[in-house]
Chains A and B, each alone.
Chain A
Amino acid sequence: MLRLEAVSKTFFPGTPGEVRALRSVDLELATGSWTIVIGTNGSGKSTLQGAVAGAFTPDAGRIWIDDVEVTGRPEHARARWIGRVFQDPFAGSAPSLTVAENLALAERRGQRRGLRQLIRAGSRARWRDALAEIGLGLESRLDDPIGLLSGGQRQAITLVMASLARPRLLLLDEHTAALDPRSAELVIALTRRIIERDGLTALMVTHSMAQAAALGDRLIAMHRGRPWLDVQGNAKRAWRAERLHELFSEMRREDRFDDATVGIVVPAYR
């Protein structure tokens, strides 16, 4: 349902700070699959999400969602397919609007915004059910400004918001990295519940080896702007957290050298 063909992106080209974040990446996600993306800092894992979401136009390559080419389309024009949860738990909601207003805005993701009242009778029961599922008692706070809630609570609601208008693709960008361990656990449990319940296609970037090992049905390790490891099914299950840590040490070792050196030096290390 998502297809990337030879997608490349270089930030700050031609400067000493040049970063080749994506190097001719080919990727295809099957409908209903849950792909976990890991990688060291600067490996391109977040850039990959950015390319899919439309945060920038790639320097080269093409991107399709459901066989519709979206390569040059801006972020807001891709929203009808994509639900997103960001790393910053405050990035997914509008603090001065109430919980109900945030949910209502999200429910119309990708649709035209007209002059009908945003909050209409009949929606509240649906939202209350969706919030009750989180298990934090948030269903009683529909009319509070969402800015009054904690990061964990807001991230959980953002997740519900992303799933309200069922997305063809759910993008999760290290969405538990900024949370305390308990909230992270809760958000992960909710993530799993929502993805499995709705059979969503998900692309989840994470920094947590435990999450990478436990979740999803496909695992991609990004390194130097391209997938270095791409396993699914039984092969994925073989990658326990410890083994992933080893993989990371190896990738980090390579990170110490530039492109030209790495080809010569790293084989000698092995």
Chain B
Amino acid sequence: MTVLLSTIALGLVLALVGYGVYLSFRVLQFPDLTVDGSFTLGAATAAALMLAGWDPFTATAIAALAGALAGLATALMATRLGIEGILAGILSMTALYSINLRVMGRSNLGLVGVSTIFSPADALVRRLAGGAEVMLWGQAVPSDVVAQALTALVAVLVIAGILWWFLRTELGSALRAGGDNPRMIRALGVSHEWLVTLGLMLGNALVAAGGAAFAQLNAFADASMGIGIVVIGLASVIIGRALVGQAAALPVLLASVLVGSVLFRMLVAIAIRTGLEPNDLRMITAVVVLIVLVVPGLFTRLTGSKLLSLRTKGGPRAAA
């Protein structure tokens, strides 16, 4: 039960990264590799501020802001300097590695014993349960694990709700249309460059918030914790999409990212239980993403059914 709940909490926290990646890769259709750096930037910024005595919520908000700045840097390179999107992201990511070391002052920071965004919920759970353990379905679970899962759930639901609202506003809809069809949105009077800037700032703010929450969940921040995180975020998005299909409505798609992220953590937890080590994590991630991408295509080829098809994207020519 404890393992299950911590897996869910981790999945929920990383769903924030999933939403960031969803914004840049899916909505904006911009392959943003800044993510690996901005995840760590969020963790480093929050950890450094909290160790300096800042309130964890303020620290997390500032971490998100730092992430937005990282996204801004990538966006400016891509839109003002004409650098290829992928390369702009790689440049930001590379620079961020050094920046993150500067922010932390060394290669990692421990947060053991520091009050985090999960602490208020922990206090509440303890008060309700009357102790440091909660009985769930006949099993004793540490209150902090329950608090982590609850806090992460509330936070992710709030973020998903805000995204649902935002993506249906005039501006958010323009963002979706801009990813779909830059030419059209320009003809309708919106600067595509501005949309890229906005999308990358929002996306990386979410990723950095995810990094900040991740650091507080695991009580440490490390300069190399962001490596491969973009693939983990993509995994949530891709698994979610495989669950709900291509043509799903916006709220379903948003929910699918959350579910995909938790599901992915469970797959990883199972893989580790079968004898793989945490060091194999990135390998597992890559293999899982590969499987989710390839299996629907194989299924289509073997059975002729497009039921699981992921590749027939709803692109401009889908209905030609």
Contacts and interface: CB of A to CB of B under 8 A. Distances in A.
Bound pair (A, B)? yes
Interface of A: 53, 74-77, 79-80, 82, 84, 86, 88, 90-97, 101-102, 104-106, 108-111, 113-119, 145, 147-151, 154
A159 to B, nearest CB: 13
A94 B170 contact: no
Contact of A75 (B171, B186, B320): B186
B319 A150 contact: yes
20 contacts: A77-B189, A86-B183, A90-B316, A90-B317, A92-B187, A94-B176, A94-B184, A95-B314, A97-B173, A101-B173, A104-B173, A105-B170, A105-B177, A110-B189, A118-B168, A118-B172, A145-B314, A149-B319, A150-B319, A154-B319
Interface in B163-209: 166, 168-174, 176-177, 180-181, 183-192
Nearest to B316: A90
B318 interface: yes
Contacts of B81: none
Contacts of B247: 145, 148
Interface of B: 166, 168-174, 176-177, 180-181, 183-192, 247, 314-320
Contact of A74 (B185, B191, B316, B317): B191
A115 B198 CA distance: 13
Contacts of B180: 94-97
B188 A105 contact: yes
Contacts, number: 114
Contacts of A104: 173
Contacts of B315: 95, 147
Contact of A91 (B171, B174, B181, B190): B181
B79 to A, nearest CB: 12
B316 A91 contact: yes
B191 A76 contact: yes
Nearest to A106: B188
Of B186, B187, B189, chain A has the most CB atoms within 10 Å of the CB of B187
Contacts of A94: 176-177, 180-181, 184-185
Contact of A147 (B172, B188, B314): B314
Contacts of A145: 247, 314
A119 B317 CA distance: 25
Nearest to A115: B169
Nearest to A108: B170
